[in-house]
Structure 1
């Protein structure tokens, strides 16, 4: 059977070929190594499995070329997962074998892998050295296809090292070779290198032309395009148009880059794109867009970490499985050890069963003793049960609120501090000032939520005292009205005050003021610009009624019916994005109840809300 001359044959075709019965073992080894190389780009666990199969079969027939090829592939996979020590060991083993065979092509290919290895370690000098060595060998062999790849690799290395003229000379040679051979994937990456080179030396027009060529080739190749070159070209085009003050084009290219990265699962590139958009929207102070991309940035970084951990786990598990299977096969070849193993397993099985029975009997005995002791203590426990249940319910409610309401401002605060910590040097003083303002707002929200949570918890624990005094409603409300009139005016809201003379009630002054402040704050939050809020008080039979009325957005029936139920609490943003927890209104009801009052809500969606609190009239 003849093998494909390139890696264009699909994975499914290679997998079908591997099961053909007439294949000799050398051909099967080559197929396993081909599958391992193809899978290294899409499924590293399957890549390792196929490389291990090639390795085992190669050792059985002493096929040193198959062994060396498997080692090279394993080295590449471990390098991609930052297992640099194991990766280098595999590469050096492969290199020793190819040298012992005088296999120049194999040696050069390992040099290519070592060049990529040192690129990941950001060691430019070693990277250049190995790519130069590979190019010298490929030239001596006259292998045009590999020369086209090696000149591309070396051009990229010189670009990273700042040697622009050497990079230009090599990338032009690579473009010519890959154009002649119609190797479009490598060609697109060459144009990307040339575009970055022109961009670095200030030739923006030439850079744009080369990056556009990358996109043209990518469109032509479709699924077989060079993914990293394509998204890199889109990002660089966005940077150029940003410098040219063409922000709409900049955003268009970044959004294309997001779509392409999502489609091709390029999470590292997505992280870079989101960071650029965060910086852009910080400068514009467009906080809604900023918050969205902060959330996306945090999500993709979490995904990257989880994926990296999962890949490493699967990698380790695959190696462990391969090692275990090999050890088992070695044992099964010796019949006397097989019998000994069976007897030993049976012996341990019996011992294990006996131990389990003893543990169960002992546990049963201990449980019987405990049950007798518990029965004697039942009367004492019963008297404490109700109190403990109440404390437990309070604790559960408290932590459910903490988990729900403090999470948002703290997450926002963490996102801003993570970005400032990880990318401090990339932000201007103005950027840092904007971030500081956002952090200040998040901290303020968190403190306000914490205060409300503590007050609520104290009420539930009956740790709040009520110091009632006789108050004149007008005198108590006037300072609060003056404060909130200024706050309302910033939102173009007309806050009116209509309170009758000599209205007196007997309540805790601090708790009354807390209630009035919260009701006015909510009214301002949920009233649109140009709206009207009225704070009034009147005598109603033997009661005094304080009313906060607005023509804001009102409440849907579902929220209105459950507004005082903790398990159904809703956090709703105000008309201009003001944050809130929904806990303030619950605290208002608690404080009103503590002062033997009544709180009533009348609200209609899109028409407004009226909240009334009633207390006994003081004599």
Structure 2
């Protein structure tokens, strides 16, 4: 069910008009021939999303007139625009046919812009049909063409589309990389609307990673940009997306308030997609709360609105929710009726991804009804689609569903084997994402290192060229001296003056060369320091990251080889240890990546007004599950509302590391406090625990990277020792300071003092 919800986050997009439609219509009345064709095509392109019927009429007239005048470029653009209008009407096959006609002409004309545009639009036809790999193929074809033309807006669009396809395939890391590149380009171009859309996409990936703090940060920034440009529709969608975070965290009251606000605002401006999206989310919310009657009401409203805007894949999702609600009520006949309707709709939309998800939902109903043969049939259909489209998350979900099916049949051994496949596939996805993060950092490091080496070579070449030029000048000067020697005394005087000037110039060049040599020496020192940092990182990777992996592998080997001999309690204990090692591994990786940014000087400060209590709540919320697992109480020492001007990312990172550190070194039943005290122009933020504390001799070591100081937590949690080093560097970047007071066995208190402005 969660996968269905992910799809809808990406359904909303906006089109910008290249020129005023009204002004183009006025111009159209007074032009003929090729100029008329160009205006007809521009009108069709500007209108195809807002009014596809009118756009189709303009595109058909452009096609007929281009054929009459043998204007091939105009004919190609007309085919492209007819394809877009068919795409809007969910006539994907017709759209594909017209776009291919346009592409054929553009290719013959060697029109790079037209070819890139058709590739992108053909990719959309495959995307709406659910043919993910085909869509990805065409989007990748369009990207180098946009780059070749220097069309950075088109380049950003291609990266965004490629990211969307990776996201649909469950390859979240690749999706995030492409979304981020798109975001950077759009931000550089000052495209606030498109930047907000990229932030929305990035937030969705973090939401999928269950990193709700970063997801909220991205969604909130997207909302801020939409408010700046008075994009009310965008604000509505961003508000709904923020509601999804609270929904996922089971804060149903807050989520319902945000959904209902989005619905009310959508009804006020008659925003059809907003009404559909809000009703859809409310339907799912009440389904999760097991309030099946209200879930059915809202989901049916969503179906109605989605039909109005021809979003058939979204219709299929909402129909599936209705089926699940009826199944929850025990009305299996109604449930089957709506699941069948969802399947028919997904087939009509030719959306393989939506179809596979609906097959899985129908299979779950049949498993609960005991109709195992029917369930197996639908599971097999879903699995075939998932394998063909290489949808990693759906394949993983299949193993879990098939395990439940075999358990229902009484085949316990088979069910156990498929459950093992499910756990392995799920772990492989997580490990693949983590390995990709480390690999990407290494690639980035090596790229920066190579660029530094290339820069050094360029500087050496410049020096050599300067020396050569000086030698050549000197040779020319000697030749001039030989000629001047036979001339008059007056010319000799002129020669002497010229020689003095030349000598002065040589001295200046020598001084410049010495300065360049000093700069090169400094850069060589910096390069040595970078190599030292690299060695430090690889040492951490080879030692500290190896331990959690060894723990996971060792425990899973025992579970695999001794599964018939282990008790349920032992299996549960081993599974818990694997879970804790995996979480520890993720924390280690995040700290390594933050530290690597500091070494590459990629940390930038973006100060703005912050509400300290809000930041405290977000940090505590993020670590509540970890603290609950160790039965540790997290407490905010509330005072008056404090505001300051600072960088939210740097400050949040410091507080997360300090809270994580206190939980790590606190015993079960312990208490961690987070609070702040206002002092003149500074605010003192403190994190205090009653854990195991530190030896006084160890206090100076914890902030010094050269000491390589690290110790295990109360549950033998491992770390790299980078967390507190990151805290110190980030605090100093904010013009503050960090101090620690601790005694062995009496806990520790970290105090961060940063200026209010």
TM-score normalised per structure 2: 0.41
Structure number with bigger Rg: 1
